[in-house]
Amino acid sequence: MAKPLFSGSIVALLTPMNEGEINFDELKNLIEFHIQSGTHAIVSVGTTGESTTLSIDENVKVIKKAVEYAAGRIPIIAGTGSNATSEAIVMTKLLADSGVAGCLSVVPYYNKPTQEGMYLHYKAIAESTDLPQLLYNVPSRTGSDLKPETVGRLAKIPNIVGIKEATGDLSRLPLIKQLAGDDFIFLSGDDSTGLESMKLGGQGVISVTNNLAAADMAKMCNLALAGEFEEAEQINQRLMALHRDLFVEANPIPVKWAAYKMGLISQPTLRLPLTTLSESAQPKVLAALQQAGLV
């Protein structure tokens, strides 16, 4: 079987900010860090990149800068999702000739569409572009669940190539593979079960942990893709506290604080309504960083 378009350790990249303004110098440094660490691809302005509090212009600028800084050395996947189909199409079209490798589009949030509504939403986006599209299902944040049967229908649309499945429900993987076909890309969006999904035939992980433990995540995924699960499991166990405790408050609050503690970014600030990691949660995240050997 041919190598899938997207696989391995893919970082859901945070967006560095100084007092709420995007820090492009630090963005460039982070992309260099991931290239040097062996990360396989970058998602620019997904949930972890604070897409919902950036304007469309800012989203597009961050993505285009990521492509510029990567300079063809690592694929950039653009976060282009919206709960308004028209807005998702606008975002996708603005990136048509940007050099992105594909788009990651989250299930429409807040307005709770039916399965038919979700199908028509993704169909309309896919038909507006030639760019490869990845679905993104994260019911804990969107309030809506893209069912495997709907994924199977969407997989018949030629440029819908895969899914980031962030439910952590491993029983979905074989069902999605059965309904969507073996060449449909399954990427875990749940760090805690990411390795387990690869054992079941998933092709990789779109990871929050990867922001911090980039080299370890790349090695773990390389081992898993080679079927060397015992060694991969050793790495995964060392990172398990991070997988868990980077969600002690809403993502990307903890990962930004952790990246700041590691010296990867100069400020842990986010845009309101998100606030910096609370003092009560900081020892837990610090302990996870120590267990992973990162501080």
Burial class, 94, CB count within 10 angstroms (exposed 0-12 / middle 13-18 / buried 19+) = middle
**Catalytic pick among 164, 177, 256, 261:** 164
- Which amino acid does the sequence have at 71? A
Closest CA to 54 of 28, 22, 10: 22
Q: Is 177 a catalytic residue?
A: no
Per-residue 3-state assignment (H helix, E strand, C coil) for 247-280: CCCCCCHHHHHHHHHCCCCCCCCCCCCCCCCCCC
The C-alpha angle 226, 103, 218, rounded to 5 degrees, equals 25
Residue 48 marked ligand-binding:
yes
Tokens read off for 213:
């433990």
**Catalytic pick among 109, 119, 122, 136:** 136
Q: Is 199 a catalytic residue?
A: no
Residue pair 240/192 in contact by the 8 Å Cβ criterion = yes
Residue pair 65/24 in contact by the 8 Å Cβ criterion = yes
Binding site as annotated, residues for pyruvate? 48, 206
Binding site as annotated, residues? 48, 206
Catalytic residues: 136, 164
